[in-house]
């Protein structure tokens, strides 16, 4: 059965529709360049509502396991691949990728020229697209405020230890929670809509999670968030990084096609070292918008010079646009968790700026 990937600019690509493909789906189309990590991508709340194009030709060769999901369900709206492995091979495999997608009614298309699709996105930019059984798709108004679709409603506490961290939920990944728990930290996951509960929780520090969509969707909570940032040691990751910038008067803008992959080089201006990072974002902090704010740049993207992390000039506030917890991707930046928690335990005796 034929399937079609229709871009909003009028470009159409033909492929083979999946067995579960019974109705069209629309979403923002993005591409992921990693060779592995498809299960983490599919279940990452930051991809909520998006159609993901995997650039690597063979996806699904090690199947789906019970450990690598970043949330309880698939978050993407659709998937485009050149080839989806029908017979995976791995000792942890529980099912094939195709079966996994079919079970959750996520349409996908194979036999698509994913390299040409990626080139189209790079030239024309990220845009609305649709997976359809017909080549002519009529686009609908786009959905916004994806953060509200993935953020929880209740406070949940995990682990135990001498340090208590509140994980502000904009659409958190399981791997961020695990990275904290592995370091002996007690973690309370707090929905971003309940930031006022920080005064009741009284954590030792807060971590602002990743999340989907436009960081400016958090505008209603920015005043409360700024008060919290000025009170508690804070570490923002991806969406959390962008929200920290907005809270202190910075601005964000949308990239042409975003950063999504497992090999993005980042430079630390403090150490002078370059390391590889895992990334997934459409928006970046505008550097000139930081003038007059207490935030300074800590990390840069080597490829395009965009800001990859910030630090406050006097308070223990730091951020990373990339994912130090990785999953998927290299763990070159995992040291940031240890660095932040060490500073928290030192109670500001040593500043992270020096």
Q: Per-residue pLDDT tens for 273-328? A: 999 999 999 999 999 999 999 999 999 999 999 999 999 999 999 999 999 999 99
The whole-number average pLDDT for the span 165-172 is: 98
Catalytic, out of 28, 84, 238, 327? 238
Active-site residue flag, 67:
no
Q: Which position among 164, 325, 327, 352 bears the catalytic label?
A: 325
Q: Domain boundary residue among 109, 132, 155?
A: 132
State pLDDT tens for residues 58-89: 999 999 999 999 999 999 999 999 999 999 99
- The predicted model gives 20-30 an average pLDDT of 93
* pLDDT at residue number 348: 58
Give the pLDDT confidence of 331-343 residue by residue, as tens digits: 999 999 999 999 9
172: containing domain: 146-345
* pLDDT bucket at 354, cuts 50 / 70 / 90: very low
For the chain, the farthest-separated pair of C-alpha atoms sits apart, in whole angstroms, at 65
- Kindly report, residue by residue over 27-41, the tens digit of the pLDDT: 999 999 999 999 999
* Within a domain: 236: yes
pTM above 0.85, yes or no: yes
Q: Is 156 a catalytic residue?
A: no
Q: Do the Cβ atoms of 27 and 102 come closer than 8 Å? A: no
Residue 38: CATH number of its domain: 3.50.30.20
* 8 Å CB contact between 98 and 86: yes
Can you tell me the distance from the alpha carbon of 179 to that of 193, in angstroms, rounded to the nearest whole number? 24
- Look at residues 98, 132, 166 and tell me which one is the last residue of a structural domain: 132
What's the whole-number mean pLDDT along residues 101-125? Answer: 96
Within-domain flag for 352:
no
Domain check: are 192 and 127 in the same one?
A: no
DSSP assignment of 190-211: EEGGGGGGHHHH--SEEEE---
The answer on 218 and 105 residing in a single domain is no
DSSP per-residue string spanning 78-119: EEE-SEE-SS---TT--B-HHHHHHHTT--EEES--HHHHHH
Given a cut of 50, whether residue 350 has pLDDT beyond it is: no
Query: Does residue 235 have a pLDDT over 80?
Result: yes
Shared domain for 127 and 150, answered yes or no, is no
Q: Is residue 330 part of a domain?
A: yes
Q: Are residues 66 and 117 in the same domain?
A: yes
Burial class (CB in 10 A: 0-12, 13-18, 19+), 35: middle
| Domain assignment present for 140 | no
Pair 41, 74 in one domain:
yes
| Residue 335, CA distances (Å) to 40, 44, 148 in order | 21, 22, 30
The reply to whether 89 and 186 lie within a common domain is no
Q: How far, in whole angstroms, is CA 209 from its chain's centroid?
A: 9
Choose the final residue of a domain: 101, 132, 163.
132
**Cis amide linkage into residue 156, ω under 30° from 0:** no
My answer on whether 17 and 165 are in the same domain is no
Same domain, 219 and 303: yes
In a domain, 317, yes or no: yes
* 325 among known catalytic residues: yes
Nearest to 107 by CA among 11, 5, 19, 15: 19
Catalytic residue among 241, 312, 323, 352: 323
- Let me know whether 228 and 298 are in one domain: yes
pLDDT over 90 (residue 272): yes
Residue 95 is assigned to a structural domain of this protein: yes
């Amino acid at each position: 059965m034929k399937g079609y990937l229709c871009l909003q600019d009028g470009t159409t690509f033909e492929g083979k529709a999946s067995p579960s493909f019974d109705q069209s789906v629309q979403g923002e189309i993005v591409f992921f360049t990693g060779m592995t990590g498809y299960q983490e991508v599919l279940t990452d709340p930051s991809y909520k509502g998006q159609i993901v194009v995997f650039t690597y030709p063979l996806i699904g060769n090690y199947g789906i396991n019970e450990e690598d999901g970043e949330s309880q369900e698939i978050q993407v709206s659709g998937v485009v691949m050149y080839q989806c492995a029908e017979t995976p091979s791995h000792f942890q495999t529980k099912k094939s990728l195709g079966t996994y997608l079919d079970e959750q009614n996520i349409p996908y298309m194979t036999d698509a020229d994913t390299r040409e699709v990626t080139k189209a996105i790079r030239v024309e930019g990220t845009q609305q697209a649709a997976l359809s059984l017909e080549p002519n798709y009529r686009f609908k108004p786009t959905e916004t405020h994806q953060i509200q679709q993935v953020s929880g409603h209740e406070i949940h506490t995990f682990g135990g230890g001498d340090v208590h961290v509140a994980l502000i939920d904009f659409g958190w990944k399981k791997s961020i929670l695990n990275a904290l728990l592995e370091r002996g930290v007690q973690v309370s996951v707090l929905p971003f809509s309940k930031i006022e509960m920080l005064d009741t929780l009284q954590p030792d520090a807060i971590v602002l999670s990743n999340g989907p969509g436009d960081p400016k969707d958090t505008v209603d909570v920015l005043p409360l968030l700024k008060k919290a940032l000025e009170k508690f040691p804070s570490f923002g990751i991806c969406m959390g990084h962008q929200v920290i910038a907005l809270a202190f008067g910075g601005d964000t803008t949308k990239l042409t096609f975003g950063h999504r992959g497992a090999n993005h080089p980042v430079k630390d201006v403090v150490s002078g070292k370059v390391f590889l990072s895992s990334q997934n974002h459409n928006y970046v902090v505008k550097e000139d918008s930081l003038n007059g704010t207490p935030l300074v740049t800590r990390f840069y993207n080597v490829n395009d010079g965009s800001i990859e992390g910030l630090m406050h000039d006097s308070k223990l506030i730091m951020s990373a646009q990339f994912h130090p917890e990785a999953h998927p991707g290299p763990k070159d930046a995992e040291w940031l968790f240890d660095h932040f928690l060490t500073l928290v335990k030192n109670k500001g005796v040593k500043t992270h700026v020096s």
